[in-house]
Chain A
């Protein structure tokens, strides 16, 4: 954690000052929104609503933040809980087209032909689309691990699950992604 971030956190915790909390929001909003975008399978409106809820919860509970862990992982913990609360609340709502476990099992359609590896834009779109075929725990663990650089033990704390489970989610998710993004690789993996 950088020094200025520590100062902002102290000022926000001691004074509950919105100004310093604002600095923290601007510093972490991209990461939190991005993480929730992945969790919600690219649903922009929903992910931004959840991100807003995350920051408001963080502001309300800022005095409970313990400086032993990173502030970002604390925010991710709140974000993940907001996401879980949202899907639990809406799991019985037939109007909500949202990832339930059945929906997550949807098989992806493997692409035919070769992949244009030279186009970064295509890769990025492919990655985001590929994430939609993973289960929510796989999407979460892989994003936290590779995109946001969290260690396995940090992910285990964020998602409140055993370290071994985190590792197996990452492994399974990576195998699925490899299969989706590069069908030719399937032979090597099997």
Chain B
């Protein structure tokens, strides 16, 4: 097209001559990565993303430092995954390893929640909340701060090595590595008492696993956030495939409204003057240069698009400048887009949120959530396991009674010490003694169990042969909290020689 200086569009519209690096037609599978230089953008979605980034990073970095008093002897960290002691603490909830199904339930809820989110607002997880997106944003902030915006960075990359370039590169990578260290450093605080571990790190006497974890996470953060960036989403992550399959004609996706924008033209005034039909798109390519994924949204919905909506912000800015209505690129459902194309009235997209599919998701999500809440509120904090001695199964005593040995494990999952009585049912006159005790047999044992432990008790049960069946007799152990409270049973067998 001829350049006619007298009819250039208003000068405030910045233009870029750029080819999207991830355009389907130009991208070969065997091609090396072409670097993307996302340009800074201002607007509603960018602000939203800054806010979400602040909240998610704050949650990540601050959570381990929240204190929660659980009484003496118990950790006072609100969220703690205590691997050596095999406990998971989450504020008022304490989870033992055998209660791991709560975590499974949370994962199911997260899965259904993602389905719900995707079926309504599309790949919002990718665009706003995914750690990869958040950390790439963080790394880009650092890069922009040191090397400048897109144009400056392109220039710096092609510039010869000077002291200034070296200084910028060294500072950038140093800050990136430090960000990685901070990321990995925060991670380990979830697995140990944060202040203690921080002090040990400061004195360089933290356990090796802490240093190794920090090193590994520093390396991955630096590589994923600084070097690999959009490749993680495009090539490594399974979510784009799954999430893309979750989309339907009622899901919001970032859409270029080509019914309004095409035919795009740089020189709209010329077209208007010559009577040609012109679209709203001024072909300034601002949507391309701000895209962190290196695509052109005007090519339509693509796998690479994480729906970060930065192109919407960029385009809205341009539309404001050229005096056209906003929303040439917008969040729209396929239904709305098709209706608009046919010039049919568009219903507000929010109505698409309520439909059978989302209702089913919400119902499932709530059911799992309520079920877990119910289970959590009514869960047992006492459990008992009994192991019958196998060798020997039974012993005949001098007075002719038969004795069986059992290892009783009483799980006191409450953070307070409790007293329990242990008794048996099923065999008349059965008496119990504990190993190593000189006391005579008794029908009940009183057991004091410390807080939050598995208490192991070796017990001998003796019974007269007259009270026993020919081979094996069912024997039930009943463990009851003293003074009312929880009780648990275990059905075991009593053997005779």
Physical interaction between A and B: no
Give chain B's interface residues, CB within 8 Å of chain A: none
Name A residues whose Cβ lies closer than 8 Å to a Cβ of B: none
